[in-house]
Each structure stands twice: as structure tokens, then as C-alpha cells.
């Protein structure tokens, strides 16, 4: 029991007491509702904590096996699927996407490479035609529209965050090569063999374990309108076509769909394990998922720039690797500039640092307003590195 009445569950090695303290501070000082954090060092779990409430009404305590939508933190496991196939010689990251997905060559996209999909450089950050939430839940329709559309910019020249389209683009290449959607491929190759409690989408039988995503109180309407007014057309397409948030994530349709950029469901322990594969240079729990060379390729920087979608919100340049974002000089994933990871809408995070042998998973249900680097995540990452 903390000094302010909240019971934090789980375990934390004494060396990482600062992480527990930061986790408690998130509840006391940063408005946390329900959350969990896990840390592995050299494949060993040293922090596994959870606490708070799984619903807005505070009637369901957050349990050890509570699941929650992790939003774009899902992109790491989705990228892992592509890298497994590349490691086996079944995908060439420098091949045209159309070599695997012939219809994709339409509208001037015949030279778009697989690496452009992984690094948000394909020019397909959002669709130009209206695309509803129901449309987003339709795999075939969404992929067909992406195959037919033209890029917003010259592919390969800049990054523009593919907030929702990323999972369909990378995922359709996975499906064309294996016959499996990325969720099924991930289960067969990684989460099943390793016993990792993470799925893309969610079987209805597990719905009782899911935390309710809740939006934090909205910013003042004038601030919100000003923020939207600053968005470029490509950012509007990427972030609002369709607009998804807590209301959509709390529906059976969201759980039943395959949206590999955003609707992964898991525990913090599961996120730390999946990112731990990369922190372990391809190995986790004694199981080799990737060769060391393939694991290293995930963080192969594709060039720093002001992202065409996130640039205004971040206010700084950033650099994508082949599926995840580099910590870089901004320190988004700790002081090692070559550490890497991914944030999710509202605050969640997965982090991998091969040099330190460290991975971190943070999940929560109160969705903050930050584009990236939510203060709760930043506090946990800072506390982790203070203990190393």
C-alpha cells in the first residue's frame, strides 16, 4: 500500500525501486487511472507492477492479467512479423512492394519499396477519400483503397507518420507472402511459442479481461480548434480519416477487427517481452526469433526529418528505423541514442535498448493528449535509466 492509499501490486527488484516510485507518482501526481509497467534486463523480468482501475467508474481493479488496447505500440510487433520474413529470405526489404502485392503498383507506386512501408516513407499516411470506422474494420476494402491511391509525397524522401495505414500496408505484404494476417502470423511464430499474452484484435472470449480506454479531460475548445487548424491535409488524412479513440476501442467491432497499427491488446509484461526480443538481439526466453543481424536491422535509421504528420505536434525532428523510432538526440527512449521503441496513442510505450539489454512495457487506460512522450512514460523511462 502506498502512502496515499493506492495498492500497487506485483514485484520490483530493489535495484529498480525508482521505477516503482515513478509508477506510484503517476497515480498521485499525473492523474493515472489504471496502468501496468514491466521491465526486463537480459531477458529477466525485474519489474512487473500494476495498479488502479480498469474502468472509468472505478468498479473493476486492474489485475495481473488485465489487457488493454496499446494503440501504436502495436506497430513494433507488426514490424517484427516483416523482419522475421526478411530474415528467412521470404521478403526483400529493398524490393518493390508490388513484387508481393501486384495491385499496389497503381497510381505511381511501382517504385515504393518494402523499407518505405516500414519507415513511414511510402507517402500513404492516410487515404484521400472518406474512410469510416466501419471501413477501417474491413481488411479487404482498406487494402484495396490503399493499393489504388496515389502517394501524398515522393516515396522514400520524407517520413510522414502512417498512423493507421501502416498496419495494413506492412500486414498485407505479410499476408501475401504467408497467407496469414499479421495477428495469426505473430501468434504462430512468436507469442504462441513464447507464451506472450498479446494479440492483434482480441478474441471475444477475452473481453472480460479488457480495461476500458478513457480519454483524459479535453483541452479547452479554443486550444483544440487551434491545434486542428494547424494540421496539413496529409496530417488530417493520417490522424482523422477515420478519427478513432476510446469510444471506438470500447466496441466489439474494434476487438474483432485486424488493425495492426493500433489494436494490439496485451499486458505490460507482454509488451516488454515483445520489445525484449529486440533488446535481446533477436532472442528472448531462450528462444531465437531473429538472427542478430535481422534484429539490428530494425533500428537502421532512414534519415532524420521533420515528420510530415507529427512534425507540428512534436516540434522537432525525429528518425524512424525500419519499424520503430530511434531515441536519437531527443532521448525519447532513454539516453542511448540508438535505443528505440514506439509510443501509443494516449501514452503507452514499448522500448528496447540492446546495449543495456533492457526492454520496457508501459500500458494504461487513461489516454493523455500528448502526441508522444507522455509525462507518465517519460517518468518511467527516466527512472529506469537512473537505476542502470
Catalytic annotation, residues: 72
C-alpha cell at 124: 500513404
- Taking a C-beta distance cutoff of 8 angstroms, is the pair 201, 259 a contact? yes
- Taking a C-beta distance cutoff of 8 angstroms, is the pair 360, 381 a contact? yes
- Taking a C-beta distance cutoff of 8 angstroms, is the pair 323, 83 a contact? yes
C-alpha cell at 182: 499479421
Taking phi first (over 0 means left), then psi (-120 to 50 degrees means alpha), and beta for anything else, what does residue 112 get? Answer: beta
Q: Is 89 exposed, middle or buried (0-12, 13-18, 19+ CB in 10 A)?
A: exposed
DSSP, collapsed to helix, strand or coil, labels residue 229 as: helix
C-alpha cell at 358: 533492457
- Taking a C-beta distance cutoff of 8 angstroms, is the pair 111, 96 a contact? yes
- Taking a C-beta distance cutoff of 8 angstroms, is the pair 68, 213 a contact? yes
Q: Would you call the peptide bond into 242 cis, given omega within 30 degrees of 0 as the criterion?
A: yes
Helix (H) or strand (E) holding 277: helix 268-279
- Taking a C-beta distance cutoff of 8 angstroms, is the pair 200, 72 a contact? no
Amino acid at each position: 500500500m502506498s502512502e496515499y492509499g493506492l495498492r500497487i501490486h506485483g514485484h520490483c527488484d530493489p535495484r529498480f525501486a525508482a521505477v516503482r516510485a515513478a509508477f506510484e507518482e503517476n497515480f498521485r501526481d499525473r492523474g493515472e487511472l489504471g496502468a501496468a509497467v514491466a521491465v526486463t534486463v537480459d531477458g529477466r523480468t525485474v519489474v512487473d507492477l500494476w495498479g488502479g482501475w480498469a474502468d472509468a467508474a472505478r468498479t473493476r481493479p486492474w489485475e495481473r492479467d488485465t489487457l488493454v488496447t496499446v494503440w501504436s505500440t502495436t506497430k513494433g510487433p507488426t514490424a517484427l512479423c516483416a523482419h522475421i520474413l526478411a530474415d528467412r529470405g521470404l521478403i526483400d526489404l529493398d524490393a518493390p512492394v508490388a513484387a508481393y502485392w501486384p495491385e499496389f503498383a497503381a497510381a505511381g507506386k511501382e517504385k515504393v519499396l518494402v523499407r518505405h512501408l516500414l519507415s513511414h516513407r511510402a507517402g500513404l499516411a492516410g487515404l484521400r477519400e472518406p474512410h469510416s470506422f466501419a471501413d477501417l474494420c474491413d481488411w479487404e476494402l482498406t487494402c484495396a483503397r490503399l493499393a489504388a491511391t496515389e502517394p501524398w509525397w515522393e516515396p522514400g524522401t520524407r517520413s510522414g507518420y502512417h498512423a493507421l495505414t501502416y498496419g495494413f500496408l506492412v500486414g498485407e505484404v505479410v499476408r501475401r507472402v504467408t497467407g496469414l494476417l499479421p495477428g495469426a502470423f505473430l501468434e504462430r511464430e512468436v507469442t504462441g511459442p513464447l507464451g506472450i499474452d498479446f494479440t492483434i484484435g482480441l478474441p471475444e472470449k477475452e473481453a472480460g479481461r479488457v480495461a476500458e480506454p478513457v480519454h483524459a479531460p479535453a483541452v479547452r475548445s479554443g486550444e483544440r480548434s487551434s491545434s486542428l487548424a494547424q494540421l496539413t491535409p496529409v496530417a488530417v488524412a493520417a490522424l482523422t480519416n477515420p478519427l478513432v479513440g476510446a469510444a471506438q476501442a470500447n466496441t466489439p467491432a474494434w476487438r474483432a477487427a485486424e488493425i495492426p497499427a493500433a489494436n494490439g491488446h496485451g499486458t505490460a509484461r507482454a509488451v516488454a517481452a515483445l520489445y525484449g526480443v529486440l533488446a535481446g538481439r533477436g532472442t528472448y526466453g531462450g528462444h531465437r526469433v531473429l538472427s542478430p543481424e535481422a534484429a539490428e536491422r530494425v533500428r537502421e535509421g532512414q534519415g532524420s526529418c521533420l515528420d510530415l504528420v507529427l512534425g507540428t505536434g512534436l516540434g522537432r525532428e525525429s528518425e524512424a528505423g525500419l519499424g520503430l523510432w530511434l531515441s536519437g538526440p531527443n532521448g525519447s527512449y532513454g539516453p542511448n541514442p540508438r535505443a528505440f521503441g514506439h509510443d501509443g496513442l494516449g501514452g503507452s510505450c514499448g522500448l528496447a535498448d540492446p546495449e543495456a539489454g533492457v526492454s520496457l512495457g508501459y500500458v494504461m487506460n487513461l489516454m493523455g493528449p500528448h502526441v508522444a512522450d507522455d509525462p507518465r512514460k517519460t517518468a518511467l523511462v527516466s527512472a529506469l535509466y537512473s537505476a542502470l
